[in-house]
């Protein structure tokens, strides 16, 4: 081996070692500061982790854009959902008077809320955009109560790291990290454009997460669970979407 190539070889070796050590150090730091999303493994794990970590580091508290009333869409698009179950139809026939939101898990006071109970919490109205990962979007006014108030009411324990949320549909659930769950715009939504939230848009109760794409705003919410790990739910990827290839963190 000539000196030239030996020097090159040494330099490349040093660079590679530094690179591997750097990635290992970054990985440890990322774990310590909670920058790894639940779906941070697998071949797309590096990209998901970079997306999520960049958001956590650069824009943890930024609000989603809100719009003037004049920009509310005349033709909001209600995405297709599967036909409703008999249980849902029964609740609907009763005007959703018996709809219950169960809040449990790592909380001091597990509670069941009716829709009437939720209406006693402070009301927030926000005009935000629903942006679907497919590309389309619309703007509407969403009326409800910030999730943070409910979490405060039930006394979420400090070791809780995620809020998992479940639809009346058995295979439709998702989760948020605590900073997203406590974000003032994360809204338990009961109304839309000055009326009740229509069933086609997720009524009677939808969790609107306007800093993320539409699919994080799960419709027909019946249960919230505070947890320290998403490993216990489904395939442990944080929500049902990653099981179909979609990202858990959907801010991009």
Partner 1 sequence: MLGALCYSPHVSAAGSPQNSPTPRHGAVVRVTHWLTVIAFFALLITGGEIVISHPRFYWGEVGNSLTQPLFTLHIPSSRATVPTGYNYVMPDQNGWSRALHFQAAWLVVLTGLVYGIAGFWTGHFRRDLVPRRGQRTWHAFRGVMGKTFRRGPPDAAEARSYNVVQRATYLIVIFVLFPLVIWTGLAMSPAFTGAFPLTVIALGGRQSARTLHFFISGALLLFVVVHVAMVYLAGFKSRMRAMITGRAIAEEERP
Q: Which residues of this protein are in contact with partner 1, per CB under 8 A?
A: 2-6, 44, 46-48, 50-51, 55, 58-59, 62-65, 67, 71, 73, 75-77, 79-80, 129, 131-139, 210-213, 241, 244-247, 251-252
Q: How far is the CB of 166 from partner 1 (least distance, A)?
A: 21
Residue closer to partner 1, measured from CB, 66 or 153: 66
Is the CB of 139 or the CB of 156 nearer to partner 1? Answer: 139
- What are the helix and strand counts (H, E) for the chain? 6, 10
Provide the minimum distance between the beta carbon of 151 and partner 1 in the complex, in angstroms, as a whole number. 21
Work out whether strand 221-227 and strand 100-105 pair parallel, antiparallel, or are unpaired: parallel
How many Cβ atoms are within 10 Å of 64's Cβ, its own excluded? 17
For the bound state, the minimum distance from the C-beta of residue 187 to partner 1, rounded and expressed in Å, comes to 14
Which is nearer to partner 1, 21 or 97 (by Cβ)? 21
Nearer to partner 1, 49 or 222 (CB): 49
Residue 191 C-beta: closest distance to partner 1, Å: 20
Cα–Cα distance between 238 and 251 in angstroms, integer? 15
**How many other CB atoms sit within 10 Å of the CB of residue 9?**
11
Residue 4 parent element (H or E): helix 3-32
For partner 1, the closer CB: 3 or 170 = 3
Residue 184: Cβ within 10 Å count: 13
Return left, alpha or beta for 105; rule: phi > 0 is left, psi -120 to 50 is alpha, else beta.
left
Residue with smaller CB distance to partner 1, 42 or 95: 42
With CA atoms as reference, report the closest residue to 102 among 165, 152, 160, 161: 165
Q: How far apart are CA 134 and CA 118, in angstroms?
A: 32
Q: Which of 79, 29, 76, 85 is nearest to 53 (CA)?
A: 29
Closest approach of partner 1 to the CB of residue 5, in Å: 6
Q: How far is the CB of 55 from partner 1 (least distance, A)?
A: 5
């Amino acid at each position: 081996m000539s000196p030239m190539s030996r020097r090159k070889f040494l330099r490349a070796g040093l660079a590679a070692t530094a690179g591997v050590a750097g990635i290992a150090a970054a990985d440890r730091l990322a774990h310590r500061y909670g920058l790894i999303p639940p779906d941070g493994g697998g071949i797309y794990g590096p990209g998901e982790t970079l997306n999520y970590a960049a958001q956590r580091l650069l824009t943890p508290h930024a609000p989603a854009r809100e719009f003037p009333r004049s920009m509310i869409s005349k033709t909001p698009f209600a995405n297709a959902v599967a036909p409703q179950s008999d249980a849902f139809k029964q609740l609907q026939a009763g005007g959703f008077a018996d709809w219950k939101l169960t809040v449990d898990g790592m909380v001091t006071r597990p509670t069941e809320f009716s829709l009437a109970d939720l209406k006693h919490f402070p009301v927030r109205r926000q005009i935000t955009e629903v942006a679907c990962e497919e590309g389309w979007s619309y703007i509407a006014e969403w009326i409800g109560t910030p999730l943070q108030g409910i979490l405060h009411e039930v006394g979420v324990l400090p070791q809780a790291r995620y809020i998992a949320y479940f639809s009346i549909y058995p295979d439709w659930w998702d989760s948020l990290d605590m900073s997203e769950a406590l974000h003032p715009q994360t809204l338990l939504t009961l109304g839309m454009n000055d009326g009740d939230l229509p069933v086609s848009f997720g009524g009677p109760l939808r969790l609107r997460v306007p800093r993320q794409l539409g699919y994080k705003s799960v419709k027909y919410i019946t249960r919230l669970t505070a947890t320290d790990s998403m490993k216990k739910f489904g395939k442990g990827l944080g929500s049902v979407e990653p099981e179909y290839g979609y990202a858990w963190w959907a801010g991009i």
